[in-house]
């Protein structure tokens, strides 16, 4: 598709962001995984319970997705994406805070560039 055929620039930018997600090498990047990654990226250092409330998913689903976004994909017994990390909340040792890793921050920077770059029809 050439740039002169773009009919909705905002959705084209969303497409570019999805392409950044696909560049992780994952065959699939489910919407719920993207929703959690976007929430953490926009609320770096948030509590896991805040993520659960924000994305309206079960605790177990969010936990599995955070594992996948983190160091290990629990269900498939392979490496995770290493985009986020969990740390015990110093204010409540039963809770976790979620942070972007340097790789996650790099991905966010790429997405922001895609969303803000000038798009001019050819």
> Can you give the pLDDT at residue 89?
93
In-domain check, residue 120: no
Cβ atoms within 10 A of the Cβ of 74, count?
14
> Can you give the pLDDT at residue 2?
56
At 3, the pLDDT band (50, 70, 90 cuts) reads low
- Structural domains in the chain (count): 1
In-domain check, residue 45: yes
In-domain check, residue 17: yes
Cβ atoms within 10 A of the Cβ of 33, count?
20
Stated pTM of the model: 0.84
Alpha-carbon distance 5 to 7, whole Å? 6
Mean of per-residue pLDDT scores for the chain: 88
In-domain check, residue 121: no
CA-based end-to-end distance of the chain: 11
| Mean pLDDT, range 42-71, rounded to an integer | 95
CA-based nearest residue to 73, from 110, 15, 43, 30: 30
Which CATH number do you get for residue 102?
1.10.10.10
* 4-31 residues labelled b (16+ CB within 10 A) or e (exposed): eeeeeeeeebeebbeebbeeeeeeebee
In-domain check, residue 104: yes
The domain containing residue 29 runs over which residues?
3-115
| Mean pLDDT, range 26-54, rounded to an integer | 92
């Amino acid at each position: 598709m050439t740039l002169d055929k773009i009919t909705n620039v905002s959705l084209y930018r969303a497409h570019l962001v999805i392409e950044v997600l696909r560049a992780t090498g994952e065959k699939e990047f489910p919407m719920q995984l993207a929703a959690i990654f976007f929430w953490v990226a926009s609320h770096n250092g948030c509590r896991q319970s805040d993520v659960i409330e924000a994305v309206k998913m079960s605790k177990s689903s969010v936990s599995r997705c955070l594992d996948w976004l983190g160091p290990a994909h629990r269900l498939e017994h392979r490496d995770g994406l290493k985009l986020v990390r969990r740390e015990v909340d110093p204010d409540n040792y039963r809770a976790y805070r979620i942070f972007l890793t340097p790789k996650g921050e790099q991905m966010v920077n790429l997405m922001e560039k895609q969303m803000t770059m000038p798009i001019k029809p050819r």
